[in-house]
């Protein structure tokens, strides 16, 4: 049976947000671990799909003879990770409510989002990823345009051992950090909120930003932790994502439940 999401004829009121502490993050992470332990096949399956997409894109970059793009791609790939966690949010929601699990129900919940506001968030996240990849190519043209790096090894030699490469890394990572912070702020709770409730995507993004503003250091710490964990899990051909992504996805659901207060 399809899940019923709360609706209001006049539209729901703007959610309130709670300030979070490190204790809340620790509790959410432990709850995420518990959800993964209760339904590991769903987490591993969804993580495997995400990892497979990453491997296929890396293979494509190699076939297209632009292997040097693998590094910026691997850094930017986590930007679209939250949308991949929609299925994980549904698993946590069902576990929370004691509803039965099943692949048809999980995929049905994901498929239903195509006609809801969450589809707009997918566009926003993909747009950020496109901006990230575009600015990498622009910075390469500006700082490394006269250099040749036909292989990934030559690319790393240039960026690690030349002044131009150091400047490219410094500017690129500063811009990337700004993009990641902005995207994290507008998505950290907006995606689970849109999946569960009948809000428009602008309200959801505002609520997400309010959550970050209410607990800036705690949420920034969570964002850094998530980014580093996903990057580390991506290093062995994205294989680590089959475990790391589901745990973080489930934990994000519990952060959302602790942070966002829905008024009746």
State CA 99 to chain mean position distance: 26
Helix (H) or strand (E) holding 159: helix 152-161
Q: Where are the beta strands (DSSP E) in 108-261?
A: 260-261
Helix (H) or strand (E) holding 16: strand 16-17
Single out the residue of 24, 104, 74 nearest to residue 230, CA to CA.
Answer: 74
Distance CA 255, CA 29 (A): 8
- Residue 212: the pLDDT is 95
Block mean pLDDT (10 aa), the chain, length 264:
42 84 96 96 89 76 65 62 78 93 87 79 80 82 74 77 87 86 90 89 93 94 88 79 91 95 77
Q: What is the pTM of this model?
A: 0.81
Supply the DSSP symbol for 239.
T
Query: How buried is 108 (Cβ within 10 angstroms: 0-12 exposed, 13-18 middle, 19+ buried)?
Result: middle
- Residue 67: the pLDDT is 62
């Amino acid at each position: 049976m399809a899940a019923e999401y709360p609706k209001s004829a006049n539209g729901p009121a703007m959610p309130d947000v709670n300030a979070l502490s490190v204790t809340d993050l620790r509790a959410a992470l432990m709850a995420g671990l518990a959800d993964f332990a209760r339904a590991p096949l769903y987490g591993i399956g969804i993580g495997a799909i995400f990892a497979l997409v990453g491997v296929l894109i890396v293979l494509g970059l190699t076939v297209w003879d632009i292997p040097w793009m693998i590094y910026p791609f691997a850094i930017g790939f986590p930007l679209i990770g939250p949308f991949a966690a929609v299925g994980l949010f549904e698993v946590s929601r069902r576990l929370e409510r004691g509803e039965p699990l099943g692949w048809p129900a999980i995929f049905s919940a994901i498929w239903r989002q195509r006609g809801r506001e969450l589809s707009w968030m997918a566009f926003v996240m993909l747009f950020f990823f496109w901006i990230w990849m575009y600015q990498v190519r622009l910075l390469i043209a500006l700082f490394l345009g006269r250099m040749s790096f036909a292989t990934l090894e030559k690319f790393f030699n240039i960026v690690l051992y030349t002044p131009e490469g150091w400047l490219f890394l410094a500017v690129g990572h500063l811009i990337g950090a700004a993009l990641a912070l902005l995207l994290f702020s507008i998505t950290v709770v907006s995606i689970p909120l849109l999946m569960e409730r009948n809000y428009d995507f602008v309200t959801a993004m505002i609520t997400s930003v309010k959550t970050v503003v209410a607990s800036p250091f705690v949420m920034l710490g969570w964002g850094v932790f998530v980014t580093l964990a996903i990057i580390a899990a991506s290093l062995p051909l994205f294989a680590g994502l089959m475990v790391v992504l589901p745990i973080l996805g489930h934990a994000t659901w519990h952060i959302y439940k602790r942070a966002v207060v829905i008024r009746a």
